[in-house]
Homo-oligomer: A and B are copies of this chain.
């Protein structure tokens, strides 16, 4: 991050903030401050230029209002791309979604359709607190020491039971590894694959995984997705070793991978050693119509599928408990090579969750949330009806988000911007793809789980009216 060497003329009538604003704008337009550059903090720039922080704030605010800068909580000020600007280097606006995580800082946003948020008001605090109280007890002092590297056997047993009853997936607790989030589990998994392993990820797809794999030196190929799900020819054309898929509910399209494609995918993996499929079964708990779809892994006779599950959507994201079910060959290698890693999840939390599941509270919670989420989804669909000429739902109507295709003449960034001006935050579809170019018509991802039922009507109506030209 460079300091801005702006020369301020205190002798003119032009206010200092305006001079600073013009200076920075010029630096951006003429390419000397490139897209995503971080600007100095207000305090540092004020110190450097011997002006007040208010002056810097006024300049920054103006630039934000005009779309040259964006302010990210706890990160700072960054140069934003804008279609009017000419850059020295090509701008990859999709490279860095920068989704804010801190809900306390959304003071300018009233309604946030964040795709990762869940309904927090209906979490069974009393139950969880009761089990926490019982677990945090002197008689359980052995829980303070490190436990099994794969995670507590009691929790793995509950997960094994759950997977069998709820997902039709048979696996033993021995094949399950618990970790503090999908990213943590994936990082371990990556160590089991050869260093020159080539990865394939759905594109559009789960951007967190995309970004994570790209922070490694391995090659990562985008794999085409259509209305049946991932295109297996795309895999055959790019020839990765390991593919990352969301077959139960494609993220973000929502597509369920067809039986044909599942068979093709498994055949592809079986054709060579060292080929694996990572199946991310996020939010499979929330289907509102039709039968639950068994995971790809339940069709896997050749031990090619690594199954990833998480309590982030079904329970709470901040609990940080996820799990993977390894095929036997990888389990052996995990135990030989990686079991010196201690489990990344607090044993106390694992026991609380195991108890919560054993007492039936998890099942009750899921049933309750399924009803609530279905109501929210139905509400949105109903509110969308009057706008069906311009706004249509793309893909499946399940899970905790939907994708809207908006044909009102606005571009994707205009849709996001216009919503923001009405204090509504929505998420651009392009953030989930590797930069194939804009969708036509533009698409928006709408997470509805995190908005309360009471606010859903006004949030959705505000959004839809603001999109009317």
Interface residue ranges, A against B (CB under 8 Å): 1, 38, 74-75, 97, 101-104, 116-118, 120-121, 123, 125, 128-129, 132-133, 136-138, 141-150, 153, 174, 180-181, 183-184, 187, 191, 195, 207-208, 211-212, 215-217, 316-320, 332, 335-349, 450
Residue of B nearest to A341 (CB): B183
Q: Is the CB of B144 within 8 A of A340?
A: no
Residue of B nearest to A192 (CB): B215
15 more CB-based (< 8 A) A-B contacts, given A143-B318, A145-B316, A181-B342: A74-B153, A75-B339, A101-B146, A101-B148, A101-B149, A116-B146, A120-B144, A123-B144, A125-B136, A129-B133, A144-B317, A180-B344, A211-B340, A317-B342, A320-B342
Q: Is the CB of A180 within 8 A of B191?
A: no
Q: Is the CB of B339 within 8 A of A318?
A: no
Which A-B residue pairs are the 5 nearest by beta carbons?
A144-B316, A318-B347, A180-B344, A120-B141, A129-B136
A-B contact pairs, 22 of them (CB 8 A): A38-B332, A74-B150, A75-B339, A101-B145, A101-B146, A103-B145, A118-B144, A121-B138, A123-B141, A143-B318, A144-B317, A144-B318, A147-B318, A183-B344, A187-B187, A191-B215, A207-B340, A211-B340, A318-B346, A320-B344, A320-B346, A346-B346
Q: How far is the CB of A70 from chain B (nearest CB, A)?
A: 14
Oligomer copy total: 2
Q: Is the CB of B332 within 8 A of A145?
A: no
Chain B residues with CB under 8 A of A317: 144-146, 342
Among A1, A136, A208, max chain B CB count under 10 A is at A136
Chain B residues with CB under 8 A of A1: 332
Residue of B nearest to A74 (CB): B148
Contact of A101 among B97, B116, B187, B342 (CB under 8 A): B342
